[in-house]
């Protein structure tokens, strides 16, 4: 199945609430796939931070984002969509 990417631009937050659920931090990956599939962790985030979402990889059978390509602190990486809180 082909990967579906959607280009976008919006702001989101890695919140304290989410970080509290993952005491070792939130992992930022080099690619939108699991470690088993060959992705590498590029950073582990422990303080809350605001990020810019620049692309979404959609779930295979829906228009729901599964992975988000984010920019933060002059860096870029991929994060599971469930790890971010949208800013309204």
Res 88 pLDDT > 70: no
Q: How far apart are CA 4 and CA 11, in angstroms?
A: 21
Residue 71 structural domain? 5-86
- CA 84 – CA 3 distance, rounded (Å): 21
Yes or no: say if 31 and 78 are a contact pair by the CB < 8 Å rule: yes
Beta bridge partners of 68: 56, 79
Is residue 84 within 8 Å of residue 13, measured between CB atoms? yes
For residues 51 and 4, which has the higher predicted lDDT (pLDDT)?
Answer: 51
CATH number of the CATH domain containing 66: 2.30.30
CA distance 19 to 7: 26
Number of domains comprising the chain = 1
pLDDT of residue 4: 86
| Per-residue model confidence as pLDDT tens digits over 10-54 | 999 999 999 999 999 999 999 999 899 999 999 999 999 999 999
pLDDT of residue 71: 97
């Amino acid at each position: 199945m082909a990967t579906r990417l959607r280009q976008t631009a919006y702001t989101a937050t890695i919140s304290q609430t989410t970080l509290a659920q993952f005491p070792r931090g939130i992992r930022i990956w080099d690619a939108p796939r699991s470690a088993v599939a060959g992705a590498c962790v590029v950073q582990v985030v422990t303080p809350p931070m605001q990020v810019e979402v620049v692309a979404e990889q959609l779930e295979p059978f829906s228009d729901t984002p599964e992975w988000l390509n984010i920019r933060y602190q002059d860096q870029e990486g991929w994060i599971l969509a469930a790890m971010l809180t949208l800013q309204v």
